[in-house]
Amino acid sequence: MLLSMTGFGKAVVEAPSKKFTVEIKSLNSKQLDLSTRIPSNYRDKELEIRGLIAAQLERGKVDLSIMVETSGYNDVATLNMEALAAYKSQIELMSQKLSLPLPGDWYATLLRLPDVMKTETATEASEEEVKALMTAVSDAAAELMQFRRKEGRKLEEFFDVRLHRIRELLDEVPRYETERIVKIRARIEEQLGKINKVDYDRSRLEQEMIYYIEKLDINEEKQRLAQHIDYFFETMESGRGQGKKLGFIAQEMGREINTLGSKSNHAEMQIIVVKMKDELEQIKEQVLNVM
C-alpha cells in the first residue's frame, strides 16, 4: 500500500491547567524537512518532539504548530503598583504644566496604560503538561498518517489507470509492425531507384537492408516496457516507502518509450508513443507525492 507525503493532522489534549492544540501539515520532499512553532516554555522538549515526528512521518516537508491555552488559575495577574504610581505622578505633572484637567476616572485611565499588570507564570512545565503535550503531538502525527494512507489509496487508483492505459497502447503497436517494415524497405528502394547510372551489388544491398531493419527492431523495447509496468505494480503492492523506487521505474519506462519513438518511423506508431508519454508524465508528477 502506498502512502502520500501530503497530509494534515490535528489533536487537542488537556492537562490540569493547560490545553494543547497541535497541528501538523506535510507536503512532498526528498527527506524530512521539519519546521516547528513551539511556545518558549516547552522549547526544551523540541528535540524529543522532533524525534517523535521523524519516527512516525519519515519524509516530507513538515510544518508543526503547537498552541497552548491556560484553562486554570495557575497564572496569577497582579497590579504593578510601581508603574501605576509613576503614571499617576506624570499625569498630575502634565496637568499642572499644560493646564489640563485631571482625569475624571483614574481607574479607567490608569488600567489602560501598558505594563500595569504583572503575571506570575511558572517557567518550568509540569510532568502532566509534558505528558499531555507529547500525547497531542503523537495523536496529531497519527491522524496525519491516516490522511496519508487515504491519499495513498487515491494515488494507487491513479497509477492503476495510467499504467493500464500505457499497456493498452503498447498492445496496439504490433498491428503496425509488419506495415512499418514494408514501408521502410519500399522507401529505401524508392530512393535508390532515383539514383541514375549507379551499379550496385543486389546481394550486398539485401544484407545491408536486413542489418538496417534489424536495428529498427523494437521487440526488446516492448518487452522491457511491459516488464517495467509489471514491476511498477509489484512495487506498489510491496508496502510503504516506495516513492523513490517508483520514480526510478518511471524513468526506465520513459527510456523505453523514447526508444520506441526514435525507432518507429511510422506515423501511427508515433501517435501511440506520444500518448504513452502523456500518460507517463502524469505518473511522474504524482510519484513525487509518494512516500
pLDDT digits (tens, 9 = 90+) for 216-250: 788 889 999 999 999 999 999 887 678 899 999 99
- Any idea of the CA torsion for 223, 229, 235, 238, to the nearest 10 degrees? -100
State the Cα–Cα distance between residues 108 and 87, nearest whole angstrom: 13
Confidence of residue 18 (pLDDT cuts 50, 70, 90): confident
More confident residue, 287 or 185: 287
Q: Round the average pLDDT of the chain to a whole number and report it.
A: 86
Confidence of residue 148 (pLDDT cuts 50, 70, 90): very high
CATH number for the segment(s) 7-73+128-148: 3.30.230
Are the beta carbons of 260 and 224 closer than 8 angstroms? no
Residue 276 has a pLDDT of 96
Domain boundaries of the chain, sorted by first residue: 7-73+128-148, 76-120, 152-287
Residue 112 has a pLDDT of 82
**pTM of the full structure:** 0.70
Could you tell me the three cell numbers for 277? 508519454
Are the beta carbons of 258 and 224 closer than 8 angstroms? no
- Which candidate, 81, 68, 178, places its Cα nearest to that of 125? 68
Residue 80 has a pLDDT of 87
185 pLDDT more than 80: no
